Structure 1
Amino acid sequence: MTDPFGADSLRAATLLAWSSSPTRLREDAATESDLVRGGYRDRVLTELAQNAADAAARAGVPGRLDVRIGPDGLHVANVGAPLDESGVQALSALRVSGKTEGVGRFGVGFTAVLAIGDEVEVRSSSGSIAFSAARTRAEIGLAGIAEPESGVPTLRLVWPTDARPASGFDTEVVIAPRPGVDLDEVLATMRAEAADLLLELPALQSVRIGDDEFVRVERDLGGGLTEVTVGDRVWWQFTAPSARWLVPVSDGSVRPVADDVLRAPTRTDEALTLPALVVASADLQPDRRRVLPGAAIAHLADGYAEFVASLPESQRTALVPLPGFAAGAVDEQLRDAVLRELVDHPWLPGANGDLLRPRDASVLPGSTPELTDVLTDAVPGLVRPELSGRGDARALAAVGVHRIGLARLAELLAGQDRAAEWWGRLYEALTPLVVDALAVEELAAIPVPLADGRTVTGPRTVVLGEGIGGAGVDWVRLVHPAAADPLLARLGATQVGALDVLSDPALRERIDALWDGEGDADELAAAVLPLVADAAAGPLPGWLGGLPLPDRFGELQAADELLLPGAPLADVLVPESPFGTVADRVVEVHGAETLRALGVGWGFAVLRAELPTGPDHDLDDESDWWATLSDDPELLVAVRDLDLVDPDRWPDALTLLASDTETATLLADRDGYSAWWLRRHARVGGVPLSALRSPDDPTFEGLLDPLDHPHAAALSGALAAGRIERTETAELLLDRLADPQRAPAPAVIARTHRLLAEATAAGVLDLEALSPPTRVRAISGVVVDAADAIVLDRAWTVGVVPADRLVVGDLASAGALADLLDVAPASEAVRGEVLGAGRAAEWAREPGAVLASVSARRALPAGEVVVHDALTVRLSGAVRGDAAVPWWVDDSGRTHVDAGRLDPGVAGAW
């Protein structure tokens, strides 16, 4: 038997040492036992794989490891550098390793094989050796050495053997299992470790466990990133100066590790909570399970930021350690170092395409690609929008990325000089982030560009006007049209229309200032008139007519003191009217309709004033009209410049007024200023309108002439009413009643007397200004001297006063009529004495009275009545003689009736 490694000499030397020092034997036995039960428990495949990786590295060949179950035990074969003398010495020395490079070469880790059995062979192409607990025990007995209580050390005595490794392999370890060891279970455990070992030991290319082969395939992804595949598992690997970093990948996305251990290079017991696997060299305790106290660890993080930067941009934050409790001291040191590495080095994708250091970076939570694109050159250090969601927030916070809220964004934008179009894109892009009242409040100070070129702070101070723009609109804080996004309304901007802008008091001040020589009238007109065109459908404030416009001579006049060329109003005004004609160029640019809406005349202009408080609107006789009101009107609407009509052109002026819908409406408002003024001042054929009636109004037919005008019906409010409203009207009617040339019908006479009496009773008429007429109209239609007339104020006197003397109105107001006409009432002018006694009765007991009541459908009078077979009254006063009458009321108030004349008419008089 050959002994190329001097195994016999090594065994003899060890036995001599044990014989010389039994304590040494016990120490070796205890050390081996501790290693098997402690540091190298469950590490058989790991330790043999490390030896295989080292052998392959030394030979410069791809490592292969084969594990199978043979008839004589567990076989673990590998390729690479074969067993040598230093390796044999290390295997039998327990405390010595033959390591010169790599991760280990047959050192104390080989003790792990004893977890399976204590009969072990190491077969190599350069020579083979064997270890045996049984043979060691026999040798000790032959040498007369007492066996320790803990048993004999299996790996201290080595024997040469002629066994050869399996074909195709350079070294093979064969372990005969002790009773109770299930090799199938051992292989199942090893299968679970195989993939990790191929990651940890790059010198190994494949591991076969029974019939299952695990092969590591690498693919260069560029940028220092390598894809490592073992079976159906994939990792992305990055080699940094002091460590290799790997992260699992599924479907092209990284899957951060939740919990792992430090791999130095194989798994230790140092738990880590980093999101990636780390494989590195570290100073470990002899059992290679723990890092030596005080060993340097932080340098392992060097280059981690480059690893993260090599990943796709959207996946980088997944490799940031999130806040949490460290799994131990090593984990705490390494986490801190990784975070420092990430904070201080560029790896975050910036919105402008650069890589950013987190400490220099900012993130706007919830940002979109559109918003980020707008803000790229406005907010320095802004990260890509893909990293602005909730999923990345904790990672970015962990590395100190500055979180920009909406309020901070508004501060950063303050003072920036940007085009209005840029602001418009910003507001549109910000809209998805404004989801509640808090967001609205945070953006309260965001800058807003105005139409006049200024940029102001805060949407709440500006107004939005669709279609409203232009540099000249500077009396309101109007948002520039290119920036007028709906978001501004949500942030507090006021939505306005052209009418709102034109009604702003600041514009009125600007117009007033123009008349004081301040400002450019042409510029203001150029800004105002397009707005007037947009707002023409609504009523404009009256003061807007004061806008200066050039007339045909180039002189400035208020718009409402100008007429359009060819305006029909010019034909009805007095020659000396103050109206000029607006310049043709203004009409060409802005159009006649716009100028008319502003107040430039075509027909009569209309003044509008909301909530007026007094007669201060420059209307003719406005104070007199105001005195007719019981209270201030909510809205004053009146036709202007009626006092400028040529007296001879009123028919045409009335046609102009009635033909315009707006002014025609005012003519129908009898109590309004316009109709009131026309009644007082307008004349047709020399007759005031108040003395003319509408052709379809019969109230004063025969007394007042109808207006002979095509639009008479539309002018009803400006004509005489169906009532008497003025002393002048009463005076006219009294004159017409006394005019024998007029022939009013009896009904008109009675109605006119009634209306005169009611006006007198109501205090409408100034009786001191009226002279009592010398002649009055009787109900018969004849005109009689007032001294001979009698006003009917008692119904029973109708039959005794001649119709040619009887002035009839209404019994209820007869007294007022008598006072107005200075005519005696019948109750004073006529006395009557009932002749004959008659018989006293009750109305309800007189059949004739009942029949009359039923026929007339009137209630039967209550109380007493005196019935006469023939009722005769002896008259005195203005009428004398005896007269037969159907009924009479004597001075005591008793009613007398003629029994034969109880007809419905009499009953109705009761």
Structure 2
Amino acid sequence: MPTSGPDPFGINEIRDSTLQSWLTSPTRLREDVAAESDLVGVGYRDRLLTELVANAADAATAAGIVGVVKVWLDGPDLHIANTGAPLDAGGAAALTALRSSNKTGSGLVGRFGVGFTAVAAVTHHVQIRSRSGSIEFSAERTRSELQAHGIETDVVPTLRLAWPIDAGPAAGFDTEVVLRLDPHVEVETMMEGFGTEAVELLLELPAVDTIVIDGHTHVRERAGDIVAVGPDRWLEFSAPHARWLLPMTGDWLVARRRDVLRAPTRTDVELTVPAICVADVQLTADRRGLHPDADIATAAVGYADFAASLPTDQRTILVPEPGFAASRTDERLRSALLDELSTRPWLPGAGGDDLIPERAEVLVDLTAGLAHLLGEIITTLVHPEQSDRGSLTRLRSVGVTEIGLAEIASRLTGIEREPRWWGELYAELSVVAQGQVDELGALPVPLTDGRTMPGARGTVLPPPQSAESGTDVVAPSWLPTVHPEAAHELLERLGARRLSVSEMLSDPALRGEVESDPEGDDLARSVLGLLRTAPDASVPAWLGQMLLPTADGDERPADELLLPDSPLASVLVDDSPFGVVDPEWVRRYGADAFRALGVGWGFTVTREEYPTGPDHDLPDEATWWDTVGDPPQTFSAVRDLDLVHPDRWPQALSLLVESPDTAALLTDRGGYTAWWLRHYAEIGAAPLGHWRAPSDQTMAGVLDPLDHPHADELSGALGTADIEDTDQALMVLTHLADVHRSISPSVAAIAHTALATALRDGRIDLARVEPPTGLRTLAGSVADDAVVLDVPWLAAALDPTDVVVLAPPGFGLAAQLADLLDIPTATEEYSGGPTEPGEASTWQAHPRALRSALIQDRALPTGPIRVHEALTVELRRGDERSEHRVPWWRDEHGMVHVDAGFDVLGG
């Protein structure tokens, strides 16, 4: 225990004075006991470390240094040492006076001289060791002193009587407070609390940067505005009347939901503001409450500047959350903060400037892209990082006005921007709009003609633009079409129509423009631009009237032009009426676009749904329509066949076969194209209808096979066993009569049947037919004289070289064939019958009748017959007589005669 030492502070005199006041006025003693008890039990409970570190901070400030505090235990003694200005006479006197302080000047924490009383909560024996002098407080010595003067009392104040002692502070420190802890103190709990409190104190007291608690060092470090104590970090901002600190997690700021006011150390005033507030305000004597004359609102000054200093995406964290205040002081501070935030520029704007919230507007869920587009137009718009729904409540509390999509659409009316800008705007709005699309009904929409429509309804969306479209505007100029660079699916949701290229090209407005101004380059460019994107689109025939530039600088209708180097040009007559499209236009729009429009490359197909007659300007079309029964639902035909050079039909046929559009028409035998080719296209001076496909043997010998690499694919345009007109009939008759042609009897029968059928149906003008020079007989030979077999039973009796036959069962056409060949029928020329009457029987009774029916796969005849062992008939032709054995015969009475020796019987 240190002994009494020198008295540099006049402590002995102060002690004697205090003791004398107690002796003369026992009431004064009781007042001092009560006052100390109140301060210890109420005003400074739980504030031991706070008050001692606050004193250390004042000492460091007075010395102009940043102080260090060290706390440790040594047996029952608690030591608190600090650096800074040492104890002086004024300080010593203030320590012995219960309600006074000698501290003056700015930056000092202690103001009332009572904070040191906190030590009395844990001790009745205190030493203050300083390099300038040391003193001791002791309740035991105070009690002994009173007893020596005749006053007996158990309760005495600990901190009123002081004695000078001979003791210095721990090495490296300027002052050391030593407390002999009372037995009731829970030391372990106290020291744990000191560790937690040390962090808070380092935030509150800038004059101290290091506190060592029982070997554990807590150091405050600073990097710019970032303050760190160990792993914990805070962002600090100094305002005129307060310091504000926001906790940090990584680089992210975290709001405090509940805290207490600090001035600068902790008070009992609860706050619900987002940041730690260390305010420069006057407190009550116990430093726990706000002084009645203090105005907490002054702490809000500069708070908006704090918000403005934060990253743009975290600024609204400083706006107090709506809710009930924790106290009147809290309510006053919250109100002052909201006023400060409402009227000062700090809220990030979409255009880049900070906004005053009460003049700002927020569009919920604003995207960065939309903010970039709208920021320069709506300068009051809040930055997207603060426009989420989570920030909306805070923004409203500082006066920000919420606006909707309808307001955005209204603000954009009259704004002039490039179409691409509008397209980007629609893309961003589609993200924000979601289920609120109807609010954008008045959104301006730029058109290809330069106009801007007040809303999408009634406009037309252009077709999707391909990479080949380049920078050209691909849109129908005859419709209110959205500019391609502005087109977006949002507009379709707002009422814009999406038409196919075929629908655009068939629009009556286009036909009106073509008829009124067919020379318009812009119109042609629009049409070709559309066809470049959709060359397979359906193109109405009247679009062929549209004028296009030619290679010689003129303009001609599209359907009068050919593409440069087109194969079609190589097969047409030299003086064909076609011109050639300007090659530069072809390079720009592509050959397919021109071909779709009707410009020739190969042969072009004309199409019409539900045609009514020959109004397609095709050669000999009216003649073909005369051959048609019911009009087709779709009329399709190859154009310009009449312009093919007669010597170039082989090449022309190859073109027709090699093009899918035209090849399909070659298989339609009844269609116009195949019909025209059969009658008017000539190979070797003969129409195609006079040739056959090599694979078709039906008319082999009568029709010659076409020598062409695509002959079989041209079958619909070639001849078959079907006589269409008199010219073809004459050709077939001539070929049948030609002895140099090898024609089988079956082919001749088929040809005869086709001729008879055509005559019956009126396709042959009999007046133009001369009797043939030769007749193709059943024997396959050519005869000068013959008859047409018109009943089957004569076939076995007549010489095949004398008979012309039809293909079975063609006996019903015998009269027509006889008229065409100008020869008699067999029954007209021959008569006769069986030489014997035969034996009467019936089909059912004849033993070979059933076998005969089975052999011939025919029904078993019924009725009477006459059976002959050997059926012989006599034929008469004029004066000539001849007998012939035959398997069966039908006499002039209709009776059937059969030869019993034949298995195949007639009937």
Q: How would you bin the TM-score normalised by the shorter chain?
A: 0.7 to 0.9
CA deviations 1:267-297 (Å, max 9, x no partner) are 1222333332111133544433334579632
Corresponding residue for residue 235 of structure 1:
234
Q: Is 1:289 matched up with 2:295?
A: no
The aligned amino acid for 2:888 is W
Corresponding residue for residue 639 of structure 1:
638
Distance 1:163 1:408, change over 3 A: farther
CA RMSD of aligned residues (A): 5.4
Distance 1:121 1:682, change over 3 A: closer
Alignment of 1:47-196 (within 5 A): 47-58=51-62, 60=64, 62-70=66-74, 73-78=77-82, 79-80=84-85, 82=87, 84=89, 88=93, 91-93=96-98, 100=104, 102-105=108-111, 107-122=113-128, 125=132, 128=135, 130-132=137-139, 135-136=142-143, 139=146, 152=155, 154-155=157-158, 157-162=160-165, 164=167, 166=169, 172-196=176-200
- TM-score, normalisation: structure 2: 0.77
User: How far apart, CA to CA, are the structure 2 residues paired with 1:892 and 1:271?
Assistant: 137
CA drift of 1:424 comes to 6.5
Alignment of 1:232-381 (within 5 A): 233-249=232-248, 251=250, 253-291=252-290, 296-313=295-312, 315-323=314-322, 326-350=325-349, 353-359=352-358, 376-381=375-380
CA drift of 1:240 comes to 0.6
User: How far apart, CA to CA, are the structure 2 residues paired with 1:409 and 1:369?
Assistant: 16
User: How far apart, CA to CA, are the structure 1 residues paired with 2:515 and 2:421?
Assistant: 36
CA deviations 1:510-548 (Å, max 9, x no partner) are 322225xxxx53444455567767776888553332122
Corresponding residue for residue 897 of structure 1:
898
User: How far apart, CA to CA, are the structure 1 residues paired with 2:569 and 2:46?
Assistant: 114
CA drift of 1:116 comes to 0.6
Q: Which moved more, 1:200-209 or 1:561-570?
A: 561-570
Distance 1:105 1:438, change over 3 A: closer
- Of residues 787, 790, 793 in structure 2, which corresponds to 1:792? 790
User: How far apart, CA to CA, are the structure 2 residues paired with 1:844 and 1:435?
Assistant: 99
Q: Which moved more, 1:553-562 or 1:689-698?
A: 689-698
Question: SS in structure 1 opposite 2:618?
Answer: coil
User: How far apart, CA to CA, are the structure 1 residues paired with 2:333 and 2:396?
Assistant: 19
Alignment of 1:295-694 (within 5 A): 296-313=295-312, 315-323=314-322, 326-350=325-349, 353-359=352-358, 376-381=375-380, 415-420=414-419, 422=421, 430=428, 434=431, 438=435, 453=450, 458=456, 461-466=461-466, 467-468=468-469, 469-470=471-472, 474-475=477-478, 506-515=509-518, 520-525=519-524, 541-549=540-548, 556-562=555-561, 579=577, 581=579, 598-600=597-599, 605-609=604-608, 612=611, 614-626=613-625, 628-629=627-628, 632-633=631-632, 635-642=634-641, 650-652=646-648, 656=652, 659-660=655-656, 661-662=658-659, 666-667=665-666, 669-679=668-678
Distance 1:325 1:636, change over 3 A: farther
- For structure 1, the 5+ residue unaligned runs are none
Question: SS in structure 2 opposite 1:888?
Answer: strand
CA deviations 1:477-496 (Å, max 9, x no partner) are 67767667999999999999
Question: SS in structure 2 opposite 1:262?
Answer: strand
Corresponding residue for residue 8 of structure 1:
16
Contact 1:463-1:476 within 8 A present in 2 as well = no
CA deviations 1:209-229 (Å, max 9, x no partner) are 34444444555x2xxx4x444
Contact 1:463-1:493 within 8 A present in 2 as well = no
The aligned amino acid for 1:80 is A
Distance 1:551 1:107, change over 3 A: closer
Corresponding residue for residue 205 of structure 2:
201
Distance 1:749 1:322, change over 3 A: same
Q: Is 1:808 matched up with 2:805?
A: yes
Contact 1:91-1:107 within 8 A present in 2 as well = no
Contact 2:866-2:896 within 8 A present in 1 as well = yes
User: How far apart, CA to CA, are the structure 2 residues paired with 1:629 and 1:471?
Assistant: 46
CA deviations 1:676-728 (Å, max 9, x no partner) are 23445667899766566668766556767888999977765444432134577
Question: SS in structure 2 opposite 1:835?
Answer: coil
Distance 1:137 1:269, change over 3 A: farther
Distance 1:105 1:803, change over 3 A: closer
User: How far apart, CA to CA, are the structure 1 residues paired with 2:617 and 2:520?
Assistant: 24
CA drift of 1:45 comes to 1.4
The aligned amino acid for 2:790 is L
Contact 2:422-2:445 within 8 A present in 1 as well = yes
CA drift of 1:44 comes to 1.1
User: How far apart, CA to CA, are the structure 2 residues paired with 1:890 and 1:798?
Assistant: 14
Distance 1:263 1:736, change over 3 A: same
The aligned amino acid for 1:128 is I
CA drift of 1:85 comes to 5.6
Distance 1:235 1:644, change over 3 A: closer
Q: Which moved more, 1:408-417 or 1:739-748?
A: 739-748
The aligned amino acid for 1:130 is F
- For structure 2, the 5+ residue unaligned runs are none
Contact 2:448-2:483 within 8 A present in 1 as well = yes
CA deviations 1:321-367 (Å, max 9, x no partner) are 44555444433443343343333323345565533334555677777
Alignment of 1:738-753 (within 5 A): 746-753=745-752
User: How far apart, CA to CA, are the structure 1 residues paired with 2:589 and 2:321?
Assistant: 70
The aligned amino acid for 1:470 is D
Q: Is 1:888 matched up with 2:906?
A: no
Alignment of 1:816-895 (within 5 A): 816-818=813-815, 821=818, 826=827, 832=833, 835-838=836-839, 840=841, 846=847, 850=851, 861=860, 867-873=867-873, 884-889=885-890
Contact 1:740-1:783 within 8 A present in 2 as well = no
Contact 1:658-1:664 within 8 A present in 2 as well = no
The aligned amino acid for 2:87 is P
User: How far apart, CA to CA, are the structure 2 residues paired with 1:707 and 1:213?
Assistant: 110
- TM-score, normalisation: structure 1: 0.77
Q: Which moved more, 1:652-661 or 1:486-495?
A: 486-495
User: How far apart, CA to CA, are the structure 1 residues paired with 2:647 and 2:667?
Assistant: 17
Contact 2:90-2:102 within 8 A present in 1 as well = no
User: How far apart, CA to CA, are the structure 1 residues paired with 2:29 and 2:565?
Assistant: 134
Contact 1:695-1:706 within 8 A present in 2 as well = yes
Question: SS in structure 1 opposite 2:809?
Answer: helix
Sequence identity percentage: 41
User: How far apart, CA to CA, are the structure 2 residues paired with 1:650 and 1:326?
Assistant: 104
